[in-house]
Structure 1
Amino acid sequence: MDTTRIALKTSAWERVGDALIVACDPTVQIELEDPYGQAEMLLRALSAGPWTLRELQQHLEDEGLPVTIPDLLAAVRALDSLRLLADPSQQSFGYPTEDERYHSNLAFFDLFTSLERSRTELQRRLLGAHVLQLGAGGVGSTVIQHLAGLGVGRLTLLDFDVVEPRNFSRQFLYRTSDIGRSKVQRAAEWVRTFDPRIRVDVVEGQVSGPADVATLLSGVDAVSAGIDHPNTVDDWVNEACMDAGVPFVRGGISGSRLVYFSVDPGHSPCLACARKTNEEIAAGTGIDASASRLSSQLPIVNRAIGPVAGLLGSMVAFELLRYVTRYEEPQAAGTRVFWDATDGLAQRRQPWRADPGCHLCQQARERIASPIKAAA
């Protein structure tokens, strides 16, 4: 902290009685108790920065507010915990091309940064991230576009399908001239054209078991799962990712409900835990049990129109962004997030229980507790 340059993020404030109302975002107002005006003097000083801590102390003393270093440090840390402070030297890359390319990303990250974690650091995490995208269909193709826009440094894309006319209601990465072409090859071409700095690896093939996923996970930071067939494919992804300690995010549509969830190995219950919960419900009695059993008998109908794919793709991309940068904690780990298309897209969350006997979760927790032993 002695050498850190400290300044106030773009803010506005006004006094209301003994309090200061500080706004750093149109929707965020912070109330600071300030009966003697010292907080306002500190904000004015910080807005004239950047300063080192000792320079700030001297400035405040010159302004008539003597303060000790320990007291000033406590005040600075309190403001930093409210995400009001930044080190201006870490606010940009210093290269006009890079700052322009990631301008909006940096502005978004500014809402979540502090003196300890800059917005350029979060963008660098994206630039160094490797995401595996399984499936380049409705949701997957949208996720690919979002990840490319964010600036993820490396993508591995897997699919076996070709572009068909029925895809155009929701897969806007493709063009009519692409009909009959490999989706994954066309998706890779799109990414390379969009941003040549992104490394793209292509795997043309299907997933027929956990091993097919496991072979692709070396160096991968997160997985986006967007394959619908066969029905057991999500379980295979879950097994491979849990074994490797790699988080994955899944988005899709079930009947009238849009849904996405994620699994954070060693921290959230895995998909096998959710399956056991579902089996216990189906084996029971009552309305929930009947609904579960009847749902499994209905045919699967693809109702994923463009807005559905767009919403799910953006939510999956957001969750992947959380995993690879940790700008905030994952929001759907061990939790299904639903939107009901027949109820105005009303949202609800449905966490699932951890199975105490789940060996996949147990192994993941052991890996975190003793990574060297787990690796051996």
Structure 2
Amino acid sequence: MKVALKDSVWERSGETLIVMCDPVVQIELVDPEEHVETLLSVLSAGPLTVPQLRRRLIDHGIEVSMSELRQVLADLDSLRLLTDPEGQSLGDPADDERFHSNLFFFDLFSTMGYSRAAMQERLLGAHVLQLGTGGVGSSVLQHLAGLGIGRITLLDFDLVEPRNFARQYLYRRADIGSPKVRRAEHWLQAFDPRVHVEAVEQRVTSPRDVTALLADVDVVSAAIDSPKEVDGWVNEACMEASVPFVRGGISGTRLRYYSVDPGKSPCLACAQRMDDEIIAGAQADAAAWRLSGRLPSVNRAIGPVAGLLGSMVAFEILRYLIRYEPPHAAGAYVTWDAADHLQQKHMSWTPDPSCRLCRDARERHARPLAVSQ
């Protein structure tokens, strides 16, 4: 296997070598003898095998054993400065062009063991269930399509209405009165005919309705607002099937999303118990929590709200699918306040030791996979 240096620049400051690959990440390496700088200079000329690299370094007067060199390369790889030159392309120039910006974004997170092409290929083989194709849901769908998700199942029961045009850009005037899920299916197929789309026109009335759609699903994107029990149903179905889900929405000026990683994070039932304890308490904000639940429910999601939430939900889905970084909102509320310059807050949930769903999910997660003989 050959080793490649990502596009990088560096300069020296005394005994410190300052290296940049990502324009906003500065890496400082202690390099008093300039050995690391020499190594980077050699690799910048093109990919090399480890034995080839060692010979080049020896030619530059640097005596290094294979084990020492492998350790240095592992350290540089942990800083995301190296990559697998064989994993730069998807193998088809048309695909490389289609996913050009995806590949270069993923390149920032790639390593020798996990290439940018491998990340894109995971997305092409992924299956996402999108519950709801309204404001947030339709925004998420556009991002999923751009990322190249290979299979998308849609569920909605609503019809396109004039009020949707403030924030739902999949639809056109000619679509008024048509089922949203059918128009969303049509949009996805027109955007990228390779995406396998299945449209389900129905309401969610119980956890069973969600469970019936979870076969081979990698992540669920939940964007259904009614009935009020629906989030609990999604949580129950996904916890029992060990499928992560992400949920985004708005209440007043507060934009919020969260996710649940079964067996690893607290679930929504834990969060709801935490919320109930806050509401029942005597803290200064308890009254606000109690009173807010008595206000009429009004959809205030304007276009920028749906766009921001859709982007953040899509990012969280991306984290689950390719694990380029840990899920940010797993077992937590991530919020922005539209009345306070979109200041972001992160509020972790308190795990409920008595939560049956979490206990069962942890047991399933810890259970070794059965191996057929």
Give TM class, smaller chain. Answer: over 0.9
Instruction: Confirm whether residue 8 of structure 1 aligns to residue 5 of structure 2.
Output: yes
Q: How does 1:91-240 map to 2 (within 5 A)?
A: 91-240=88-237
Measured against aligned partners, the alpha-carbon deviations of 1:66-119 in whole angstroms (never above 9, x if no partner) come to 211011111111110100001211111231101001111111111111001001
Measured against aligned partners, the alpha-carbon deviations of 1:214-255 in whole angstroms (never above 9, x if no partner) come to 000000000000000000100000000000000000000011
The residue that corresponds to 1:314 in the other structure is 311
| Distance across 2 between alignment mates of 1:323 and 1:286 | 35
The residue that corresponds to 1:41 in the other structure is 38
Instruction: Confirm whether residue 271 of structure 1 aligns to residue 273 of structure 2.
Output: no
Q: Number of aligned pairs?
A: 370
- The worse-fitting range, judged by mean Cα deviation, of 105-114 and 55-64 is 55-64
| Distance across 2 between alignment mates of 1:35 and 1:138 | 56
Contact 1:143 1:313 in 2 (8 A): yes
| Distance across 1 between alignment mates of 2:160 and 2:69 | 62
TM-score by length of 2: 0.98
The residue that corresponds to 2:326 in the other structure is 329
> Compared with structure 1, are the counterparts of its residues 12 and 286 closer, same or farther at alpha carbon in structure 2 (3 Å cutoff)?
closer
Instruction: Confirm whether residue 349 of structure 1 aligns to residue 346 of structure 2.
Output: yes
* Counterpart amino acid of residue 293 in structure 2: S
Equivalent position SS for 1:112: coil
Q: How does 1:17-32 map to 2 (within 5 A)?
A: 17-32=14-29
Instruction: Confirm whether residue 251 of structure 1 aligns to residue 280 of structure 2.
Output: no
TM-score by length of 1: 0.97
Instruction: Confirm whether residue 339 of structure 1 aligns to residue 336 of structure 2.
Output: yes
Equivalent position SS for 2:48: coil
Give the superposition deviation at 1:49: 2.5
Question: Post-superposition, which runs of at least 4 consecutive aligned residues in structure 1 deviate over 3 A?
Answer: none
Measured against aligned partners, the alpha-carbon deviations of 1:241-289 in whole angstroms (never above 9, x if no partner) come to 0000000000000111000000000000000001111111112223222
Equivalent position SS for 2:255: strand
Equivalent position SS for 1:223: strand
| Distance across 2 between alignment mates of 1:157 and 1:225 | 11
Equivalent position SS for 1:78: helix
Measured against aligned partners, the alpha-carbon deviations of 1:12-70 in whole angstroms (never above 9, x if no partner) come to 11111111111112111111111111111111111112111101111111222221101
Question: What stretches of structure 1 of length at least 5 have no aligned partner?
Answer: none
> Compared with structure 1, are the counterparts of its residues 372 and 23 closer, same or farther at alpha carbon in structure 2 (3 Å cutoff)?
closer
Equivalent position SS for 2:231: helix
Equivalent position SS for 1:113: coil
| Distance across 2 between alignment mates of 1:29 and 1:366 | 42
Question: What stretches of structure 2 of length at least 5 have no aligned partner?
Answer: none
Contact 1:7 1:48 in 2 (8 A): no
Contact 1:93 1:120 in 2 (8 A): yes
Equivalent position SS for 2:144: helix
The residue that corresponds to 1:368 in the other structure is 365
* Counterpart amino acid of residue 343 in structure 1: D
Contact 1:259 1:337 in 2 (8 A): yes
* Counterpart amino acid of residue 345 in structure 1: L
